[in-house]
Structure 1
Amino acid sequence: MALLEGLLQVLYTYPLLAAVLLLVAYLHCSGIGSSSNPEGKEPPGPKGLPVLGNLLQLDLKRPYETLCELSKKYGSVFTIHFGPKKVVVLAGYKTVRQALVNHAEEFGDRDITPIFHDINKGHGILFANGENWKTMRRFALSNLRDFGMGKKGSEEKIITEISFLMDVFESFKGEPFDTTQPVSYAVSNVICAIVYGSRFEYDDPKFKAMVQRANDNIRLSGSPSVQLYNMFPRLKPWVKNLQQMLKNNEVHVEEMKRIIRGLQETLNPQEPRGFVDSFLVRKQDAEEGEQKDSLFHENNLTCCVTNLFAAGTDTSGTTLRWGLLLMAKYPHIQERVHEEIDRVLDGRQPLAVDRKSLPYTEAVIHETQRIANIVPMSLPHTTSCDAYFQGYHIKKGTTVIPLLTSVLKDESEWANPYTFHPEHFLDDQGCSVKRDAFIPFSAGRRVCLGESLARMEVFLFFASLLQRFRFTAPPGVSEDELDLRPAVGLILSPSAHKLCAVPRS
């Protein structure tokens, strides 16, 4: 009801906007709400209004919660209308996995919403399809592995960055501080070392602005106003968050180009320093061979770098911040992590191979990823052809949302789905247990290409920080008062908070 009142107030204040919406209504009215399909049964769902669809039923700040509730009524495959756009939602572990893995070809394309079309224009990795996506993803995977992603090379880069982050945490001398910026800088520098071949100082103003823009755009992309723009692209002139995102992207691309020009000037094709160098070599080879249809061009390079930088900064950084907040929230769990790390490592630097010998610490990290649920709706897919799935016909080009929150909190898969319970990942003897329904990086063709790096990063940062510090709520704030309700955004970050990093003697 509050959404309806807010919408009416906006229409009253901006009569031109009202006229635009009326025009949209006229253009779409004939098709909305029609569910007849002579070729087969479509997934069920709530009846929508012309143009608005099911908009008034959705909590646009947390749409994943509405979709989870609707799945209880309409089942694990159902239809909903985001404005005039028909969307099929997949809920629950069995259904999501069946679609993304067993029917990977049909459900493997990316649905590119208006905002990400505006920014990427079909280039890059995250928001591309067809040959462009296949070529860029294949090249990125191959070259990121060459530069140590998920291997010893990236472990060395992470451990180097850990020392810088430790210095920042220690500088607060146990006083409360916001972990957002230092954690973002540290995690971002790992991907920068792999992509560019070098890291940045935390006080570098260009680097700080770069990280801030990436974080801001991820936050703004999940805002209600940008979601409304994705439903009604004609609203573009009135959406301030959209304008801010486009401005941020324009500045970001120019900064990327500046860095790339510097790398181009010092390029040695025989000794590439990172992903960008490898791409520049391929681009140069294509130009010398006069390959006019080559996909190794500047637009793909800047989009790939932007995609890797944003994804590599925000997801791992957000997971780590959730982990530290949860340790302050549940000190008895934190104490068990401290005990295990002290007993097994005896003061030495944690390494990636220690994951097997630190099962409780690893379980805490996995449970953090599960309960934090940072990408609750995944990134939307679209059907590449007509799909026949679980008795339903889903037409080619239909937007599909694999509801990851319904997997990570599936009541049939988890003993305590809504509680922070590390024992989900341990057997009765305290040994690690693999859980099939644990897919925080999604699954199938569109599984996160940086998964191996992210797993290593989060483990090394988390274990190293817990080895050195005890994390607590600020003085005068009880553990019960620490808020676990996420902030609004495409990626679910913790709400604004401060923690104390108290050095352990």
Structure 2
Amino acid sequence: MRFSSLRTTMELTGLLTALLILLSCCYFIFSTWKTMYRKQGLPPGPTPLPLIGNLLNMRMGSMVNSFVKLSEQYGSVYTLYFGSNPIIVICGYEAVKEALIDQNEEFCGRGKLPTIGQFTKDYGLSLANGERWKKMRTFAFKTLRDFGLGKRSNEWKIQEEARCVVEEFRKSQGCPLNPSATFMDAFSNILCSILFGDRYDYTDGRFKKLLFITEEIFRLTSSPWGQVQTILPTLMSYIPGPHHKAVSFSEEMVEFVAEIVKSCQQTLDLSKPKHFVDCFLIRMEKEKDDPNTEFTMKNLLYTIHNLFIAATETLSISLRHALLSLLVYPEIEDKLHEEIDRVIGRDRMVNMEDKFNMPYTQAVIHEVQRFCDIVPFNVPHMVTKDTMFRGYHIPKGTDVYTLLCTVHRDSTQFSTPYKFNPNHFLDENGQFKKNEAFMAFSVGKRSCPGEGVARMEMFIFLTTILQNFKLTSQMKFSEADVAPKLKGFLNVPIKYELSFIPR
């Protein structure tokens, strides 16, 4: 009897303890939600749920459509919650321009990108902020310009790689192939040439390993795991899964780069820098006694890591979009062939001076980049101070998503925003015209530092391929096939094969 009474008392105590814990958790969740949701002055938006924020308002695999649909309900500026953190979303040309150009000082911070940021922290170039970012960006802009675009003597690097691609396609003898791997090899080699001064044979084992690592980081970032990690980074840091592998792959990439940097140190001539790494090492030597220098080995390795992640895959995707567009619209390919034959002919290599006499080619390339809209969300920004924007108060440190997809589909800036149309970049006389709503490389202080090199690569590669080949495919395509397809955070073309028929 005494034992039974004791057991009953223990059960009641356990029940009361569990109830108390449950009530405490409910109170904590409610208090967190109340504090989170009732912040004053933020733009309107859907009501978030405790802990998960607006996760249920977003469809994995269709996040762009989810964001655009919410803008139709809440306007060009609205608030979403990633967990307990507010995210400001800005849509349309006028609003994005106002943020990234008119108020560029306030919006020039880099927002969180957890899949990459869990490794780089705030080192390197892409995810850095403050003084470190300013110094890394200034250095990267100048050096990439000097070794990629500013010096005509370096144009041959891109021309040579384009010739290698042409020879690879000739080997196919007109048989159908997927050009993805070849483009990835080529654009990665150009980056290696600018960064390290050397290119690799496409079959080189170490080079293949570097490309594999780069592609795996992209795949993990774009996977459903990576998407959820972006929305709920704190929660996902405790949950096991493939999203954590991005760190180990990043470590492998940095080890690979460190070996190359070590060999560069052994051949360094302080008076004659030959490539990006040399320039950085010379700056390190100059500032070695400065305790506050940002020119450290860690920043060098992480900056190269950032450049590989940002530059190689996106250029390959752009060129694959371009070729797919020409398969869907063969009349556009015919006009490009006519302009190439008239301006360049078939007996010499294209150079950047030719661009100024090829308005239609320029218009097509710009339209490819507008229409395919590779990075529809843009890379996240962050406000660097308490900011007033269109009557709303945005606290310092708040992440901001500027939807470039809504800029490139803005009907006030493009006559047929949902149709592939090179006339968007041609005037009434058939001459190339700029459009301020073209933001494929973003705008403002956080625009892509490699924009100049990327423009050169797209022009030389596309023109060289069309100078040598007619494009055909056994596959049948429709206009729906050329429309961008979201894969994670990037728009990629459908998988396809084509034949390169010598002209």
**TM-score, structure 1 as length reference:** 0.90
User: Do the aligned residues in 2 keep the contact of 1:486 with 1:495 (CA within 8 Å)?
Assistant: yes
- Displacement, 1:237? 5.0
Q: What is the one-letter code of the residue matched to 2:255?
A: E
- Aligned-pair distance for 1:37? 4.2
Q: Size of the alignment, in residue pairs?
A: 477
- Counterpart of 2:13? none
2 CA distance for matches of 1:339 and 1:23?
Answer: 74
The residue number in structure 2 matching 1:3 is none
Give the AA of the match of 2:492. S
What pairs up with 1:71-82 in 2 under 5 angstroms?
71-82=71-82
What are the residue-to-residue correspondences of 1:81-92 with 2, within 5 Å? Answer: 81-92=81-92
- Residue range with higher mean Cα deviation, 140-149 or 55-64: 140-149
Is residue 202 of structure 2 the alignment partner of residue 202 of structure 1?
A: yes
Amino acid at match of 2:476: S
Moved more, 262-271 or 221-230: 221-230
Letter in 2 for 1:245: A
Residue in 2 that maps onto 1:63: 63
Q: C-alpha distance in 2, partners of 1:25/1:195?
A: 54
Amino acid corresponding to residue 316 of structure 1 in structure 2: L
For 1:320, the equivalent position in structure 2 comes to 319
1:227: which partner in 2?
Answer: 227
Question: 1:423 is matched with which residue?
Answer: 423
> Which of 466, 477, 480 is equivalent to 1:479?
477
- Which residue pairs with 1:490 in the alignment? 489
Instruction: Report which stretch shifted further, 477-486 or 127-136.
Output: 477-486
CA distance in 1, matches of 2:402, 2:133: 20
CA gap 1:108/1:215 in 2 versus in 1, 3 angstroms: same
- Cα 1:492–1:130, aligned 2, differ >3 Å: closer, same or farther? same
Give the letter aligned to residue 74 of structure 1: Y
Cα offsets for 1:8-64 (capped at 9, x unmatched): xxxxxxxxxxxxxx99988654233644345xx321111122222221121222312
Which whole-Å CA distance do the structure 2 matches of 1:188 and 1:23 have between them? 54
Report whether the alignment pairs 1:447 with 2:447: yes
In the other structure, the counterpart of 1:257 is 258
Q: Which residue of 2 aligns with 1:236?
A: 237
Residue matched to 1:340: 339
C-alpha separation between the residues in 2 aligned to 1:464 and 1:23?
A: 67
Identity of counterpart residues, as a percentage?
Answer: 37
| Distance in 1 between residues matched to 2:419 and 2:350, nearest whole Å | 28
Deviations 1:383-439 (A, max 9, x none): 111110111111111110010000011122111111111111112221111111011
The equivalent residue for 1:386 is: 386
Q: Which runs of 4+ in 1 moved over 4 A?
A: 22-29, 481-485
Distance 1:410 1:249 in 2: 37
- Describe the SS at the equivalent of 2:393: strand
Question: Which runs of structure 2 are paired with 1:108-147 in the superposition (5 Å)?
Answer: 108-147=108-147
> Aligned with 2:112: secondary structure?
coil
CA 1:412–1:285: 2 relative to 1, 3 Å: same
Please tell me the residue identity of whatever aligns with 1:272.
Answer: P
Q: 1:213, CA displacement in angstroms? A: 1.5
Structure 1 residue 86, shift from structure 2 partner: 1.1
Change in 2 beyond 3 A, CA 1:28/1:462: farther
The answer to whether 1:36 aligns with 2:42 is: no
CA distance in 2, matches of 1:395, 1:152: 46
How far the C-alpha of 1:254 sits from its partner, in A, is: 0.7
- Flag the structure with larger Rg: 2
- C-alpha deviation, 1:380, in angstroms: 0.4
1:455: how far off? 0.8
* Paired amino acid for 2:328: K
Aligned mates of 1:89, 1:183 — CA distance in 2: 33
Match of 1:308 in 2: 307
Q: Does 2:367 align with 1:367?
A: yes
Task: State how far apart, in whole Å, the 2-side matches of 1:401 and 1:150 are.
Answer: 32
Q: 1:29 to 1:296 in 2, by over 3 A?
A: farther
CA contact (8 A) 1:28 1:50 kept: yes
- Letter of the 1:95 partner, please give it: A
Paired residues of 1:350 and 1:464 also in contact (CA < 8 A): yes
Summarize deviations over 1:65-90 as a string: whole Å, max 9, x none. Answer: 21111111111111112233211100
CA distance in 1, matches of 2:86, 2:439: 26
Further displaced range: 273-282 or 342-351: 342-351
TM alignment of 1:164-183, pairs within 5 A: 164-183=164-183
Which stretches in structure 1 are left out of the alignment for 5+ residues? 1-21
Q: How does 1:39-54 map to 2 (within 5 A)?
A: 41-54=41-54
Counterpart of 1:108, as a letter, is C
Asked whether the equivalents of residues 367 and 425 of structure 1 are also in contact (C-alpha less than 8 Å), the reply is yes
Structure-2 change in CA distance of 1:215 and 1:154 (3 Å) = farther
Range moving further from structure 2, 142-151 or 186-195: 142-151
Distance in 2 between the 1:379 and 1:482 partners? 26
**What is the CA-CA distance between 1:136 and the residue it aligns to?**
0.8
1:103 corresponds to which residue? 103
Do the aligned partners of residues 26 and 427 (structure 1) sit closer, same or farther apart at CA in structure 2, a change above 3 Å counting?
A: farther
What is the CA-CA distance between 1:234 and the residue it aligns to? 3.1
SS in 2 for 1:479: coil
In structure 1, C-alpha distance between the alignment counterparts of 2:26 and 2:314, rounded to whole Å: 38
Cα deviation, residue 246, structure 1: 1.5
Q: Distance in 2 between matches of 1:26 and 1:449?
A: 48
State which drifts further: 380-389 or 277-286.
277-286
Q: CA deviation at 1:478?
A: 1.2
Distance in 2 of aligned mates of 1:479 and 1:317: 20
Q: CA deviation digits over 1:215-252, x for unaligned, max 9?
A: 22123212221121231423235453312212211111
CA contact (8 A) 2:149 2:456 kept: no
Match of 1:298 in 2: 297
Distance 1:485-1:373 versus aligned 2 partners, 3 A rule? closer
Q: Is the CA contact (8 Å cut-off) linking 1:112 and 1:128 kept in structure 2?
A: no
**For residue 36 of structure 1, what is the amino acid of its counterpart?**
R
Question: Do residues 282 (structure 1) and 280 (structure 2) align?
Answer: no
For 2:267 and 2:29, the matched residues in 1 are separated by 54
1:396-407 pair list within 5 angstroms? 396-407=396-407
Q: Which residue of 2 aligns with 1:9?
A: none
Q: Name the SS for the 2:32 alignment partner.
A: coil
Looking at structure 1, the residues matched to 356 and 146 of structure 2 have their Cα atoms a distance apart, in angstroms, of 25
SS class of match (2:149): coil
Q: Is the 8 A contact 1:25 1:51 kept in 2?
A: no
Assess if the C-alpha contact under 8 Å between 2:116 and 2:246 holds in 1: no
Deviation of the 1:364 alpha carbon: 0.8
With over 3 angstroms needed to count, the CA separation of the structure-2 counterparts of 1:176 and 1:24, relative to structure 1, is farther
